[in-house]
Structure 1
Amino acid sequence: MIKKRSSSDSSERGSSRACSALCFILITLSLIFLSYAAASTQEVLDTDTSPRGKESSEGLSEVVIKGEAKDTVKVEKAPYQIEIKLEEIVSPSIEETEALMEGGLEILRQGDLQQFTRLNSKQVIRPSLPSLPEPPLVTFHPRRSNLKIKRWKLTISDEKGSIIRTLQDKGSPPRTIEWDGQDERGKIIKVGTLYSYNFVGIDQDGKPHTTSGKPFQLWALKYDERDSVNIEVANRVLYTSERDEFSEDGKLIMEKAIDCLRQYSRYPFRIEIYTDEDPAVWEKAKALLSNYVSGSLILLPEDLRINVKRKDVRGLTTCFIIQTR
């Protein structure tokens, strides 16, 4: 027996087929959409919550989403290339230097340097110069003798033959006897004055044995007094006959005197010229001293105190007096 299908069964089968076809289409479209989205961008989701204790105003933890674009663009910069030709830089400077060395340009003339004389201070103490004699001024060296000396005596006399100082002791004389340059009254000897000495040794039999020394004199000396340091120079050695220049020996003495003034630069000083002539004759010497001392010590000439006085007991000298008290 053959049963016929009803019309209701046929309609149900048709609707079922239509639903299946629709689902297939939707699934296919979904796959296409997802593959396209994955190809264009990749999103990396970081679902780490914010630190504990930090929540949003609604009480929910914050979620940070980080993304990185795939389609980045890389740019490469070409390295700089600068060409330097040394000959273009060096050659012109060499030419200018050679032109200068040939004497084409005069930097300073001798006349231009005159305005800078005050700056030429020479503010350097020069120990290589011969020192000014200062106490002890004279050292004697008695000759050794086979005689047994009981006592000895050394006498110093001035140019008039007057004994100004006596040094003596018992027993054999020492190898060296130093004299401070003072006479019996404590006054220092004078520059330019001739002095002589005699050494007498008395043996055990009481016989004297006398030795006379060669005369000596000092042209300059430095000595201390109670409230000053003095430098004395004999006028006939310091200046030429016209008194407008220093002599050769005077130049060396003046350089050392300037060094001494630098050592006592904190103290005021004055210069006194002692003469037995009319003071007007010594105006050239005053100008010479003023220019030399002011130029060497960077002082104004009007600030210097230079006086010409009549000869005193110290003789014909030029004296630098540094007032230390």
Structure 2
Amino acid sequence: MMNAIAVLLLSVPAWSQRASSEPVSGGMPQEVLIKAEAGTGKLTDTKPHLKIEVDPFETIRPGLKPDESLLLAVSPLTVSWRRTHPEFLMNERVIQPWRTTFSQRPGISFKVRDQLETLLGGKPEPKEAKKWGWQLTIADEEGRVFHHYEGAGDPPEELIWSGQNDQGEWVRAGRSYSAVYAFTSPDGSPRTTVGKPLLFKGIVHQEDTGLHVSMDSAALFGASKNGADLQAPAGVEVLRSAADLVKRKFGGIPISVRVFANTKELGDQQAKAVQEFLLRELMTASRHITADAARAPFSDQRVEAVILNR
């Protein structure tokens, strides 16, 4: 078989071939040349392999997609605090450590030496300080002596008082107390100064009947102490601080609420308001929190929540 086949469809003289290469009036050449080169394969009817793309995870892939509703749709730099924190952190029942109505300190602190230095306008010499005598008197709002300390020599830097006097009486929330400092110089001349008034919205102390959480009625129900509903925000904050104290250390222990008010009827209303608030905050059964009321003079009107831990 010939390696190349040339088929001449139209034979003309050489001189006429050059002329015929020129396009004729129809614009098409007058001859067509078909060539076959050596090395070409034979015609075949073999079909290529069928290639089908298969996803081995097709059945489970929808379940692998994340829940778009849980993704943050906007930049964290442009969202508010509330949108980026779980809802339970914003719940009012969560303990909030910045509430400091009921301090964790063991008592009331008095800076005796600082008071002497303030009187003298500076620190005395160590030898001279030992020659001073000092007294500390805690007086109530009627001017009566509630408790008394005294000593000789170098005044203490800090004196911690439990809040209880020698007669077993405790300071009361809402009542004003004054700290009177009296010093005697080495030559016998007296020096006296009065510290800042002591007024507490809430006081905690342990007694034989239980842990007493005493709260000022003026803070809870207004300055006149005659309100039947809790005052916001002061009264609500004091009660929430009391509830936080229970949550930290005394969860599940029964509580007795006793209100001292101007009348028994008013006291019952205030006791009910306190009871309902604590039930909601502590999420406990109503049988665990009881309420009672009694009459009392204005200076003694207060709310006592006794945690029955004994």
| Band the TM-score falls in, shorter-chain normalisation | 0.5 to 0.7
- Per the alignment, residue 127 of structure 1 pairs with 97
- Greater radius of gyration (CA): 1
Q: CA deviation at 1:267?
A: 2.7
- Per the alignment, residue 137 of structure 1 pairs with 108
Q: CA deviation at 1:125?
A: 3.4
Unaligned runs of 5+ in 1: 1-77, 102-119
Alpha-carbon distance in structure 2 between the residues aligned to 1:287 and 1:211: 44
Report the CA distance shift for 1:194/1:314 in structure 2 as closer, same or farther (over 3 A): closer
Counterpart amino acid of residue 157 in structure 1: A
Report the CA distance shift for 1:264/1:81 in structure 2 as closer, same or farther (over 3 A): same
Select 1:202's aligned residue among 184, 192, 197.
Answer: 184
Tell me the SS of whatever aligns to 2:97.
coil
- Per the alignment, residue 192 of structure 1 pairs with 174
Is 1:257 the counterpart of 2:236 in the alignment?
A: no
Tell me the SS of whatever aligns to 2:199.
coil
**Equivalence map 1:76-225=2 (5 Å):** 82=54, 124-133=94-103, 135-140=106-111, 141-144=114-117, 145=120, 146=124, 148=129, 149-225=131-207
Select 1:305's aligned residue among 290, 296, 306.
Answer: 290
Q: CA deviation at 1:80?
A: 8.9
Tell me how many residue pairs correspond in the alignment: 224
Q: CA deviation at 1:300?
A: 3.0
Alpha-carbon distance in structure 2 between the residues aligned to 1:155 and 1:281: 36
Unaligned runs of 5+ in 2: 1-49, 74-89
- Per the alignment, residue 235 of structure 1 pairs with 217
Q: TM-score, normalised by structure 1?
A: 0.59
Select 2:253's aligned residue among 267, 282, 292.
Answer: 267
Alpha-carbon distance in structure 1 between the residues aligned to 2:98 and 2:209: 29
Tell me the SS of whatever aligns to 2:167.
coil
Contact between 1:121 and 1:297, CA under 8 Å: does it hold in 2?
A: no
Cα RMSD between the aligned structures? 3.6
Q: CA deviation at 1:201?
A: 1.4
Alpha-carbon distance in structure 2 between the residues aligned to 1:213 and 1:163: 15
Q: CA deviation at 1:223?
A: 0.8
Contact between 2:102 and 2:241, CA under 8 Å: does it hold in 1?
A: yes
Q: CA deviation at 1:284?
A: 3.8
Contact between 1:158 and 1:196, CA under 8 Å: does it hold in 2?
A: yes
Contact between 2:261 and 2:302, CA under 8 Å: does it hold in 1?
A: yes
Q: For residues 176-234 of structure 1, what are the alpha-carbon distances to aligned partners after superposition, in whole Å with 9 as ceiling and x for unaligned? A: 22222222313111211111122111122222121222323112111111241110011
Counterpart amino acid of residue 132 in structure 1: F
Contact between 1:156 and 1:198, CA under 8 Å: does it hold in 2?
A: yes
- Per the alignment, residue 29 of structure 2 pairs with none
Report the CA distance shift for 1:227/1:313 in structure 2 as closer, same or farther (over 3 A): farther
Alpha-carbon distance in structure 1 between the residues aligned to 2:199 and 2:179: 12
Q: CA deviation at 1:308?
A: 1.2
Select 1:321's aligned residue among 298, 306, 309.
Answer: 306
Give the fraction of aligned pairs with identical amino acids, expressed as a percent: 19
